[in-house]
Amino acid sequence: MNIRRITVYKVEYPLVETMTMSADRHYEQLDSTVVKVETDAGVSGYGEVCPLDGSYMPAYPDGARTGIAKLAPNLIGWNSTQLGPLNRHMDELLKGHPYVKSAIDIACWDILGQVTGQPVCNLLGGRYGEDFPVYRSISKDTPEMMAKAVTRYQTEGFQNFQIKVGGTVNGDIDRIYATSDKLVSGTRLNVDANTAWLRDQALRVLRAVNDIDFYIEQPCLTYEECLSVRRQTDRPFILDEAMVDVSTVLRGYSDRAMDGINLKITKFGGLTKARLVRDLCLTLGLSMSVEDPSGGDIITAAIAHLAHSTPPQFMLMASDVSRRIQNDIVVGAPRHLNARMSASQAPGLGISIRTELLGDPIIDVK
């Protein structure tokens, strides 16, 4: 199962609706990178990485493609199913930049599943139950528009919401009250500032809405700022952007900095390392949301397999990132039904690629 060819495609996904995050970051289209890994046995796997841009996290689309172009020639001839050695080799070739390695790693898990005749979730630890919950993210908007969105999506069965904040203190207080007022009993609400608040702003918001039950996600930019806020509130705390590897998760656990993490696959470098972090969280008793910054159906399939192989009591929720996009390059991709989703039962990721929609590769190494 040695790698004989790696091809890379740039895929642009128009969004169904504008996605708005903190700091007034607006996205109407996603720039994704799809990687195909071919083996000398005729088996191929696909992976995907879709960072937003450098203003959100230290990752950006052109950087992903540049890094893959550097790695690819040095991976030809390596066994695609020996994921431990392959990942160590990539780390030796390129220090840091985990998102660069993620699509290659996901593609190799797709290959491993196909050659063993197993869906990836079986290889990641086994399938728990029939399905798992997905959440609906509500873009930052006026309080009234966000409340209407929550009401609309509850009629579709959603019981988990993540609302985007990170504007003015008073505006965010209004957003939290307006959306929480529409929630039915038993609904989980996550308030995600995406690093936008200063410590004093975070504390003012949290104290003003102390009568509302919700999780707070990554209120401030740095780990230290978030820890300072955490120590002054009893609100359930989720860390996201500050959790980038095993050592930061261990530090957060030791400092009691969080009650759970957002486990973004490409941020950690692919399924191999995301599984390691997932299993560490299981050992430490930390809850998780399994997701990714953005992407299409390939990364959604990877999310589904990792989420479905995670014990339900540790799962806060998972994201269906591909619901945002208009065009569909995949056949057999997971789709949520009544706000729940399941991983494919077919070998590998369980998807087929509509190659005619990929266009010409921008990188082709063999």
Is the domain of 68 the same as that of 138? Answer: no
CATH of the domain at 309: 3.20.20.120
Q: Which of 10, 140, 164, 267 is catalytic?
A: 164
Domain that holds residue 305: 122-349
Are the CB atoms for 182 and 151 separated by under 8 Å? yes
Q: Is the pLDDT of residue 192 over 80?
A: yes
pLDDT in tens, 17-72: 888 887 678 888 899 999 999 999 999 999 999 998 877 888 999 999 999 999 99
Residues 166 and 261 in one domain: yes
Helix axes 199-208, 169-180, angle to 10 degrees: 40
Among 246, 267, 255, 201, residue whose Cα is nearest residue 223: 255
Q: How many CA atoms lie within 13 A of 44 on its CB side?
A: 14
Dump pLDDT digits (tens) for 199-246: 999 999 999 999 999 999 999 999 999 999 999 999 999 999 999 999
Average pLDDT over residues 324-330: 81
- Looking at the fold, whether 227 and 256 belong to one and the same domain comes out as yes
Q: Is the pLDDT of residue 328 over 80?
A: no
Residues 27 and 141 both lie in one domain: no
Residue closest to 86 by CA, chosen among 74, 96, 99: 74
Same domain, 101 and 151: no
Q: For 98, phi and psi rounded to 5 degrees?
A: -60, -35
CA angle 316, 319, 325 (to 5 degrees): 165
Residues 165 and 53 reside in one and the same domain: no
Whether 40 and 27 have beta carbons less than 8 Å apart is answered as: no
Task: Determine the pLDDT at residue 25.
Answer: 81
Q: Which of 10, 101, 264, 273 is catalytic?
A: 264
Tell me what pLDDT residue 24 has: 74
Residues 165 and 100 in one domain: no
pLDDT > 70: percent of the chain? 100
The pLDDT score that the predictor gives to residue 26 is 83
Contact 236, 258 (CB under 8 A): no
Q: Give the pLDDT confidence of 137-149 residue by residue, as tens digits.
A: 999 999 999 999 9
pLDDT of residue 68: 98
Same domain, 133 and 81: no
Same domain? 212 vs 293? yes
Structural domain total, the chain:
2
Residue position matching structure tokens 């809405």: 209
Same domain, 137 and 257: yes
* DSSP alpha helix (H) spans, the chain: 61-71, 83-93, 98-116, 120-123, 143-154, 169-180, 199-208, 223-230, 246-254, 265-268, 271-284, 297-308
pLDDT band at residue 99, thresholds of 50, 70 and 90? very high
32's CB contacts (< 8 A; 6+ apart) are: 10, 11, 12, 13, 48, 49, 50, 61, 294, 295, 296
16 pLDDT exceeds 90? Answer: no
Average pLDDT for the chain: 95
Of the candidates 80, 110, 3, 20, the one whose C-alpha atom is nearest the C-alpha of residue 56 is 20
Residue 91 has pLDDT above 90, yes or no: yes
pTM for this prediction: 0.96
CATH code of residue 75: 3.30.390.10
- Burial of 200 per CB tally in 10 Å (0-12, 13-18, 19+): exposed
* DSSP secondary structure string for all residues of 306-320: HHHTS-GGGEEEE--
Nearest residue to 261 via CA among 287, 282, 280: 287
In the prediction, which pLDDT does 22 show? Answer: 73
Q: Is residue 264 annotated as a catalytic residue, yes or no?
A: yes
Same domain, 72 and 134: no
The whole-angstrom distance between residue 217's C-alpha and the CA centroid of its chain comes to 14
pLDDT in tens, 254-297: 999 999 999 999 999 999 999 999 999 999 999 999 999 999 99
Least-confidence region, from 84-88, 138-142, 319-323, 334-338: 319-323
pLDDT at 183: 96
Q: What are the C-alpha distances in Å from 24 to residues 21, 64, 102, 233?
A: 6, 24, 28, 27
Q: Is 76's pLDDT higher than 80?
A: yes
Say yes or no: 60 and 115 in one domain: yes
Q: How confident is the model at residue 249 (pLDDT cuts 50, 70, 90)?
A: very high
Supply the pLDDT for residue 53.
Answer: 84
